[in-house]
């Protein structure tokens, strides 16, 4: 049985990280890809768990070595999906990428079978409330993230599936169903 490369995208604060962690906890056959980023770790984040935190110089070296499946700039930082890491994991497991819409669409160019899932909030106001409740960004950073919400959501038609993250457990079950359906037998 081949495995599925799943891309989970959606605006900052919609719940991607929460859902990704829960999917991996509940399903032994799903692995999370770990991206490289040049942003600083938030409180509680550990190198090699949430991200590989690297310097701008190291990130540039990796770009030159063609080491990313895709990468993009987000706010003032760079984020990239390490190619060999993902391909290795895909041999044994379904792999979940939690990346922005540009990254997702770039992955699809290389992997026609990648399954793109857009996570939407019930309302835009829910995102503001969630970002504030998460309490990990300054008001200025939250404003920057807000500016990008409409862009992310405008790409929904290019995605294979749209899932609304209203009740967390319902959204998780819907994504589990999509993976089951998409897994080639």
Edge-to-edge strands of the sheet including 5-9? 30-32, 94-98, 5-9, 115-120, 161-164
Under the criterion CB under 6 A, does residue 79 sit at the interface with ligand 5GP? Answer: yes
Among 6, 13, 70, 74, binds ligand ADP (CB under 6 A): 13
Enclosing H/E stretch for 5: strand 5-9
| Binding flags for ligand ADP, 110-149, as an x/- string (CB under 6 A) | --------------------x--xx---------------
174's tokens: 């819907």
When CB distances are held under 5 to 8 angstroms depending on the partner's kind, the choice from ligand 5GP, ligand ADP, none that residue 103 binds is ligand 5GP
The Cα-based distances of 155 to 11, 90, 148, 149 in angstroms read: 11, 26, 12, 10
Least spacing, CB of residue 49 vs ligand ADP, in Å: 14
Judged by CB, which is closer to ligand ADP: 2, or 151? 151
The reply on whether position 144 binds ligand 5GP by CB under 6 A is: no
Three-class SS state of 163: strand
Q: Which is nearer to ligand 5GP, 99 or 118 (CB)?
A: 99
Indicate the residue among 39 and 156 with the shorter CB distance to ligand 5GP: 39
Examine residue 174 and tell whether it contacts ligand ADP (CB under 6 A). Answer: no
**Alpha carbon distances (Å) from 151 to 46, 52, 98, 162:** 29, 26, 17, 15
């Amino acid at each position: 049985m081949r495995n599925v490369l799943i891309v989970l995208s959606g605006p900052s604060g919609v719940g991607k990280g929460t859902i990704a962690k829960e999917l991996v906890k509940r399903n032994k056959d799903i692995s999370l890809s770990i991206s490289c980023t040049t942003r600083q770790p938030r409180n509680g984040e550990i190198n090699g768990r949430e991200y590989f935190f690297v310097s701008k110089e190291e990130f540039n070296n990796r770009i030159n070595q063609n080491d990313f499946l895709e990468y993009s700039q987000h706010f003032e930082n760079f984020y990239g999906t390490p190619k060999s890491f993902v391909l290795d994991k895909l041999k044994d497991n379904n792999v979940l990428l939690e990346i922005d819409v540009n990254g997702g669409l770039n992955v699809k160019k290389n992997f026609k079978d990648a399954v793109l899932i857009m996570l939407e909030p019930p309302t835009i106001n829910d995102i503001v409330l969630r970002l504030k409740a998460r309490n990990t960004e300054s008001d200025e950073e939250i404003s920057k993230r807000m500016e990008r919400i409409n862009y992310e959501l405008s790409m929904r038609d290019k995605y294979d599936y749209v899932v609304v993250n209203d009740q967390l457990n319902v959204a998780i079950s819907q994504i589990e169903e999509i993976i089951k359906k998409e897994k080639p037998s």
